[in-house]
Amino acid sequence: MNNILKFFKLAAQGGLLVLLPILLFILLLMEIVQMVIGLATPIAGLFPAGTFGDPKHPLVLAVILLAGASLLIGIAMQSSAAQRLGNWIQKKTLAKLPIYRFVKALVSGLVGAEKTGSFKPALFDAGNGQREIVYLVEDLGDEGFTALFPHAPTGFAGQVKIVAKDRIAPLDASLGDVSLVMNHMGLGAGKLLKTNDEVEK
């Protein structure tokens, strides 16, 4: 009898280890789908009422709208006049909002845009052979860097510190890659370090 109970217990535990990650992945995927659709909704609202009706595949439509809008704005911003106008509008309006500057820097880091002020992943030398993954938030010149020390697995929550530049080693990785490592409790950090070492050589 004990052997039978032990068998069912081990089987249930094994099944849970397989089922739970799948269910969590599905929940995360559903959240991402809703977020993408939500982001595209204001763009769809710019079109005349009834243009899209009740789409059968809202996610596909949302991706097309986001990609199309990004492409059009990107093409427009290739001209110096459009860049000056866009920068002037941002400076006079949205750039005054701290949350906008934060989101813009975060998105720039996630897409790998090489812009001043964007979140950049790096390694902080904590001494005693220990290194910590950090996000560089702002270059303070001679004062060093403002750095976010993320807590796993949240990725974008943690302590903010001012650190000396000589204790920082930039990581040759996108913010998305590094945040994924943080979300996975450090799993994959070896690959980031290997890539970084190869680039340095």
pLDDT digits (tens, 9 = 90+) for 33-83: 888 888 788 888 888 877 777 778 888 888 888 888 888 877 877 777 777
Q: Residue 37: its pLDDT value, please?
A: 83
Q: How far is the C-alpha of 148 from the C-alpha of 168, rounded, in Å?
A: 12
Q: Residue 111: its pLDDT value, please?
A: 54
Q: How far is the C-alpha of 191 from the C-alpha of 189, rounded, in Å?
A: 5
Q: Around Cβ 62, how many Cβ atoms within 10 Å?
A: 22
Cis peptide before 98 (omega within 30 of 0): no
The verdict on domain 106-193 having CATH code 2.30.30 is: yes
Q: Residue 113: its pLDDT value, please?
A: 46
69 and 43 Cβ atoms separated by less than 8 Å: yes
Q: Residue 162: its pLDDT value, please?
A: 92
Q: Residue 47: its pLDDT value, please?
A: 82
2 and 10 Cβ atoms separated by less than 8 Å: no
Q: Residue 110: its pLDDT value, please?
A: 54
Instruction: Please identify every stretch of the chain with a pLDDT value under 50, giving residue numbers as ranges.
Output: 113-116
